[in-house]
Structure 1
Amino acid sequence: MTWDNEWNKWINHNELQSELKEQMNDMTEREREDAFYKQLEFGTGGMRGELGAGPNRMNIYSIRKVTTGLAKYIERNGIEPKRRGVVIAYDSRHQSSEFALEAAKTLGVHGIKAYVFEELRPTPELSFAVRYLRAYAGIMITASHNPAEYNGYKVYREDGAQLPPIAADVITKHVNEIENELLLEVKEEHELLRQNLLSYIGENLDQVYLDYVKGLQLNNNAAKTNLHIVYTPLHGTGQTLVPQALQNVGLQHITIVDEQRNPDPNFSTVSSPNPEEAQAFQLAIQYGKETDADLLLATDPDADRLGVAVKNNSGDYVLLTGNQTGALLLHYMLSKKKEKGMLADNSVILKTIVTSELGRAIAENYGVQTIDTLTGFKYIAEKIDEYNQEETKTFQFGYEESYGYLIGDFVRDKDAVQAAVMIAEAAAYYKQQGMTLYNGLTQLYQTYGYYKESLTSLTSLTLKGKDGAEQINRIVNQFREHPPAEIAGAAVEKIEDYQSGERINLLTAQRETIDLPFSNVIKFWLKDGSWFAVRPSGTEPKVKFYFGVKQATENKSEKRLQEIQANVMSAVENTIYK
């Protein structure tokens, strides 16, 4: 399609939403091209984009289009999936509740039942609800931690996990067959209710989910430690469940950041509602100082990611990385389960290919196997399902460096509610020993070595839109077609190309097949054990670079990390500006 033809189709549509027509009249020509030159892509992570008019934007018409594709996917599987229906939840973003109802109204045209949460709820509860209600699918309206101008649409299958690539491809095929999203019909809410094609759900399901979370508790004495917690939902869905989940395990000293307690689609107190970033913790740190809190917690808008800050040896609050929080959770859970005789011989943990190797070292110490998956929690969920079906391994923990953790597999996506409870319990355990979580992390480094990682994302405005996508492809292809022989004085020993599915040892010329689905990721292992990986983001206009090192001391690790990162990013700059 050409963007001007699409523009004319939309501007001349008599029933176009009035606010969208107003936006179109105010667009510059460059804005028009970016909004109309393609349709918003639906992939294994669903779809995510800026709100606004056009097929390359999130609006009621893109919601109708992708939901029609989902409906056709459900219809091809028979009457029973239609009866079991779809659970729909949404976060605090602009138009989230409207999009949730719009999805239900579209499903209703196809005779598919929808269970819609009456108010905003976290992504992990959506995953749980799909499983608990035995629904055939789930929809989550969210853009996770993206800026306020974004929204998104994630699809879940009947086991509560995000769609695998094969199912996503089928839905994409149905979506692409729709010629004009502006002409898709919907049913009205009152008609859906009358025909029993729409039910609203909420508090009853909350209590069932919270009972499951409480069942994860490993230390019944946590309440006796007088642990003080500051929590911020960052204007998102976490407020609905996280405080109650903490109280259910006996943790009563919880202070909520009042300015960030209520839903706010503009996320007005932060530049980005991302718990990975220090600025998101500014208010929580102020509260922490005022209350002398032991632990600061933050969840992103849909409460699937958890950020943690703790006091260091100087008494200052420092933000833990996702790798560090994951290591603390893993060590605490495995040690307590071994102590209680709860650690099965066939236990396994799951982590992504760009997550720290510290987790593997910890798990190995407890006789637990570590399995790597591709980036994206759907791959961790796939493995959990495989192990449960075959009864070959016992899942203990899954995590990724981007602040996502899963403890109990009654949810099949990352779950900040579970993680908040367990990291608080770990903090209480260390406090009983006269230690902080920071002290516990130091002990892990002293035991296993100083693993250090970082993530660099190219996020400049030049990488947005059509030109940005082309530039991202050029950067990734440069590393694939012209791989470096050495980085920062260390020879590149192995290259793992997940798009070709091949691992190549450059020193021995040995080639191996990587037993994972194909993905546009390249990972380079250096002879000194360091590594870096290159991956285009599936949800944002970014290309991401991941780095990992291990040295004998913290200073040596930091120095080595900076050397490798500077070397790689210098090569990237040459690619961009040549």
Structure 2
Amino acid sequence: MDWKKHFERWMGFEDLRNDLRDELTANEKNDTYLEDSFYKNLEFGTGGMRGEIGPGTNRMNIYTIRKAAQGLADYMKTEGDEAVSRGVVIAHDNRRQSDEFALEAACTLGANGIKTYVFSELRPTPQLSFAVRELGTHTGIMITASHNPPEYNGFKVYGEDGAQLVPTDADRLIEMVNAVEDELLIKTGEKEALENEGLLEFVLEELDEKYGRALESVVVDQGLANEVGNDLSIVFTPLHGAAQKPMMDGFKRCGFTNVHVVEEQAVPDTEFSAVTSPNPEEHRAFDRAIILGDKRGADVLIATDPDGDRVGVAAKDESGKYKVLTGNQTGALMLDYLLMKKKEAGKLPENGVVIKTIVTSEMGRRVASEYGVDTLDVLTGFKFIGEKIRGYEKNGEHTYLFGYEESYGYLIEPFARDKDAIQAALLASEVAAYYKKQGKTLYDGLLDLFNRYGCYLEDLESFVFKGKSGAETMNAMMDSFRETPVRELAGQKVRYQEDYLTGNRTLLDDGAEEEIGLPLSNVIKVVLEDGSWYCLRPSGTEPKIKAYFGVNRPAVSEAEQALERLKADVLDKVSAASS
């Protein structure tokens, strides 16, 4: 069925919601708008679905939400009566229609005899992950589009361990969602009737308290927090998102009382009206925090993204100006402090392990090795870290110590199973207190790590390819790098190339192959003789290829030069492969 047939189907549906009908009517002569709204079904991928809000099969609206929820209900039924009886917990962030989409999903599940627990106020993603485990539900749903622009929303699904579904389970769910034939005809229950039947329950206070108590375990040295916490000046902004209440509760519980909130960004706002970008990975997100930090003489600035799973940190550099740390740098600071304190207390287990993704800095491995701790690489996506934690709990092979990814995602204590900005902000504050006690800033602490371990620098470039031709270009680029391996780059010989689509590591000097031992994925990583590396990975949610780069040198200036040379050489090859 082409897009015009789908458009006619929607317009011919008598019970189509009025606001959606009005928007379609206003654009009924705009073929470009209508085609984009109906030319395909909004894709439900391994992490759920995400898209622009509006009418149409390729948009986020109550009907596509119902389709996703119905597919989830069908999936749970195949899991058996126990899965159905355990039910689902649903949370939402501050985005447009997030609360409405959460209720629509609950009413759809309720019509299938599946009980749902719905947070009565917005709460962050890690608290949803925690709630799945605390309530013992079979599944969790988070309504969010993370740090996408205001016109987006999304539907993320979590398994019974509180982690996002791994590919095997996600593939089964995707099949069920795609099998739902007509999103307009899905039956839903009525809110009041479902509440009376015990199939819908609103939750908040008890889970807030339990999550808050769990946060207290994140503090490594409570004596230090008590000693310095009142003096450590923190500026915090939730960037209009869902982390405000649990974050402020966490600060209070853990002894950090000198916290200044960027008030204009503390109010949930669907339009993110007081922030240039709601993404703490972008330095613009700190504009107002820096102004308040200068006013208050803050030691550290902390920003969480709208759904509270990513956190950015800034501290003053040698010139007295705030410098936003990269995700890799914040991760290294927290990891070094965490392992140091555990070792001092005699609590560093012999089988401890740190987990990072394949595109995360090698500095983490270097830090962990200093403490005799192994580091494990997984594919990009925090669900793979969650999967490893679950495996360790079953087989006792390792004790989980810390997990992180370069894109500002961290998990310290595994009472949640997705990246947790609340936990990370508390640990980062404790690390800042540790250095403040020595008369240093958090940035000074980073320089200390560079002196001890070498200067590790990383960068990221993205290449956008829109439409059908863009997808073809992306495939051709990856094929080019795959079929014609680079043998020398940035003045260094290539040691090996890893192709995660075949699962093989090829040693370039003799052509020998080794198994990587990770799930197959369309990713290429190249490692040079000096340990420098780059990685090419098509995005799973956007029409782009991401190129990651990493180098290590004794001094910052040397590392900066090496990084620029590596980037220039790789980008030349990317340009040639995409032309």
Cα gap change, 1:430 to 1:376, in 2 (>3 Å): same
For residue 130 of structure 1, give the secondary structure of its aligned residue in structure 2.
helix
Shift of 1:36: 1.8
Moved more, 522-531 or 484-493: 484-493
Asked whether 1:191 is paired with 2:193, we answer yes
| Alignment partner, residue 60 of structure 2 | 58
| Alignment partner, residue 362 of structure 1 | 367
d(CA) in 1 for partners of 2:7, 2:479: 32
Moved more, 209-218 or 89-98: 209-218
1:348-383 per-position Cα deviation (integer Å, ceiling 9, x unaligned): 000000000000000000010000000000000000
1:454-479 per-position Cα deviation (integer Å, ceiling 9, x unaligned): 111124xxx34444434433333332
* Structure 2 counterpart of 1:563, from 540, 561, 565: 565
| Alignment partner, residue 202 of structure 2 | 200
| Alignment partner, residue 323 of structure 1 | 328
The answer to whether the 8 A contact 2:311-2:424 is kept is yes
AA in 2 matched with 1:7: F
**Matches for 1:332-481 after TM superposition, within 5 Å:** 332-459=337-464, 463-481=465-483
The answer to whether the 8 A contact 1:145-1:301 is kept is yes
d(CA) in 2 for partners of 1:191, 1:347: 50
| Alignment partner, residue 222 of structure 1 | 225
Asked whether 1:533 is paired with 2:538, we answer no
d(CA) in 1 for partners of 2:115, 2:429: 39
Shift of 1:216: 2.1
1:506-542 per-position Cα deviation (integer Å, ceiling 9, x unaligned): 1121101111111111111122321111111112232
The answer to whether the 8 A contact 2:265-2:275 is kept is no
The answer to whether the 8 A contact 1:34-1:465 is kept is no
| Alignment partner, residue 507 of structure 2 | 505
Moved more, 54-63 or 83-92: 54-63
| Alignment partner, residue 549 of structure 1 | 551
d(CA) in 1 for partners of 2:548, 2:40: 30
d(CA) in 2 for partners of 1:401, 1:189: 41
d(CA) in 1 for partners of 2:257, 2:81: 48
For residue 218 of structure 2, give the secondary structure of its aligned residue in structure 1.
coil
d(CA) in 2 for partners of 1:181, 1:543: 32
Moved more, 133-142 or 13-22: 13-22
d(CA) in 1 for partners of 2:537, 2:198: 45
Asked whether 1:24 is paired with 2:24, we answer yes
Asked whether 1:209 is paired with 2:205, we answer no
Shift of 1:319: 0.2
The answer to whether the 8 A contact 1:43-1:165 is kept is no
Asked whether 1:136 is paired with 2:138, we answer yes
d(CA) in 1 for partners of 2:482, 2:52: 30
Shift of 1:190: 0.8
The answer to whether the 8 A contact 2:46-2:174 is kept is no
The answer to whether the 8 A contact 1:34-1:466 is kept is no
Moved more, 76-85 or 86-95: 76-85
For residue 131 of structure 2, give the secondary structure of its aligned residue in structure 1.
helix
| Alignment partner, residue 156 of structure 1 | 158
* Structure 1 counterpart of 2:297, from 285, 292, 301: 292
The answer to whether the 8 A contact 2:144-2:307 is kept is yes
Moved more, 87-96 or 468-477: 468-477
Moved more, 147-156 or 13-22: 13-22
Shift of 1:58: 1.1
| Alignment partner, residue 6 of structure 2 | 6
d(CA) in 1 for partners of 2:439, 2:102: 48
d(CA) in 2 for partners of 1:180, 1:302: 30
The answer to whether the 8 A contact 1:223-1:252 is kept is no
Cα gap change, 1:468 to 1:11, in 2 (>3 Å): farther
The answer to whether the 8 A contact 2:115-2:200 is kept is yes
Percent of pairs with identical residues: 53
* Structure 2 counterpart of 1:84, from 59, 83, 86: 86
Moved more, 166-175 or 255-264: 166-175
d(CA) in 1 for partners of 2:432, 2:2: 56
Asked whether 1:44 is paired with 2:49, we answer no
Moved more, 247-256 or 526-535: 526-535
Moved more, 488-497 or 438-447: 488-497
| Alignment partner, residue 108 of structure 2 | 106
d(CA) in 1 for partners of 2:155, 2:334: 30
Shift of 1:549: 0.6
| Alignment partner, residue 251 of structure 1 | 256
* Structure 1 counterpart of 2:274, from 266, 269, 274: 269
Aligned length: 574
| Alignment partner, residue 238 of structure 2 | 233
AA in 2 matched with 1:401: E
| Alignment partner, residue 125 of structure 2 | 123
| Alignment partner, residue 99 of structure 2 | 97
Moved more, 214-223 or 259-268: 214-223
Asked whether 1:146 is paired with 2:148, we answer yes
The answer to whether the 8 A contact 1:51-1:58 is kept is yes
Shift of 1:11: 2.6
> What's the TM-score, normalizing by structure 2?
0.97
AA in 1 matched with 2:12: N
> What's the TM-score, normalizing by structure 1?
0.97
d(CA) in 2 for partners of 1:128, 1:67: 21
The answer to whether the 8 A contact 1:530-1:549 is kept is yes
Cα gap change, 1:34 to 1:575, in 2 (>3 Å): farther
Shift of 1:189: 0.5
Cα gap change, 1:173 to 1:434, in 2 (>3 Å): same
1:298-346 per-position Cα deviation (integer Å, ceiling 9, x unaligned): 0000000000000111110000000000000000000001001111110
d(CA) in 1 for partners of 2:290, 2:399: 38
AA in 2 matched with 1:546: Y
AA in 1 matched with 2:280: P
Cα gap change, 1:270 to 1:469, in 2 (>3 Å): farther
The answer to whether the 8 A contact 1:87-1:114 is kept is yes
d(CA) in 1 for partners of 2:499, 2:10: 42
For residue 410 of structure 2, give the secondary structure of its aligned residue in structure 1.
strand
For residue 50 of structure 2, give the secondary structure of its aligned residue in structure 1.
strand
Cα gap change, 1:470 to 1:266, in 2 (>3 Å): farther
Give ranges in structure 1 of 5+ residues lacking alignment.
none
d(CA) in 1 for partners of 2:193, 2:450: 60
